[in-house]
Amino acid sequence: MFVLRKSFFGNLRKATPSNSLSARLVWGRKMGRYERAAKNSLEEATALASGIIDTVRHDLRREEVRLEEEMRDRVQSIQALLNEVASIQDAIIAGSSEIKRELEKAKKRLVKYGDRELMVTQIIGAATRLGELRTLHIDAVERIQSALARPPSAVDIIERMTKDLLKLSGSWESAARVVDESIADVVDANAPVELVELHREISNNGYDLILAGDDRDPENIEKCRDKIRELSGGDTI
């Protein structure tokens, strides 16, 4: 309220020919109907603005909690599978290394002792185990891909949240427009009735003749009329 008064006083001083007149108009007087209306409107606008802030804060917090829960569920839903597949991959690596070592040993015995029968056995066994390991690997990959494709994905979660925020922003904007309307109502742009009546009194009741005094020459009267018009701000209000 203090800011409104300060701004009002500043404008009033600027608009009037005398700061002392401004002081007489403003200080020491009782609160008028416009100031009471402005005070009430500002109180209403302040309450509405506080309500919007609380609403936005509540909505954002609710979305934050939901986001945390959905992201946590997303990760936890595939965590066990990821650990299992990781163990399978490690086992595939270990099995592949073991098969390769056994083949190397069989090759050395073939070269050294000519043990072809052992070599044939090792080749057949290695090929069979390789097929088993590849099948295991393919199965693990398919399980991972299936788990990753299971909705909602992390991207799905973010898209859902952004859509919700867009819907919420519509209600926030509607509430904000009410605040702007309330602020716009603080000061009535129309001139007060008393100001209009004063303008009519000065403009239409022969004060130009009083200013003219004894010199009732039409040109002098017109000059007096123009002087009143100039000082009062024009013909219309």
Say whether both 171 and 210 belong to one domain. Answer: no
Say whether both 99 and 170 belong to one domain. Answer: yes
- Rg of the Cα trace of the chain? 45
Whether residue 43 lies inside any domain: the answer is no
Assessment of whether the complete model's pTM goes beyond 0.75: no
Cβ contacts of 80-87, under 8 Å, gap ≥ 24: 81/143, 81/144, 81/147, 82/144, 82/147, 85/140, 85/143, 85/144
Peptide bond into 151 cis (omega under 30): no
Q: What is the mean pLDDT of residues 128-137?
A: 96
Q: Is the pLDDT of residue 75 over 70?
A: yes
Say whether both 65 and 166 belong to one domain. Answer: yes
When comparing pLDDT for 18 and 217, which is higher? 217
Whether residue 31 lies inside any domain: the answer is no
Say whether both 207 and 169 belong to one domain. Answer: no
Confidence of residue 29 (pLDDT cuts 50, 70, 90): low
Q: Residue 76 CA to chain centroid, in angstroms?
A: 30
pLDDT of residue 190: 81
Q: Is the pLDDT of residue 189 over 80?
A: no
Q: Beta-carbon neighbour count of residue 106 at 10 Å?
A: 20
Say whether both 169 and 200 belong to one domain. Answer: no
Selection from 232, 189, 177, 178 nearest residue 34 by Cα: 189
Say whether both 174 and 225 belong to one domain. Answer: no
Whether residue 130 lies inside any domain: the answer is yes
Say whether both 223 and 168 belong to one domain. Answer: no
| Cα dihedral sign, 57-60-63-69 | negative
Q: Are the C-beta atoms of 102 and 122 separated by less than 8 Å?
A: yes
Q: Which domain holds residue 147?
A: 60-189
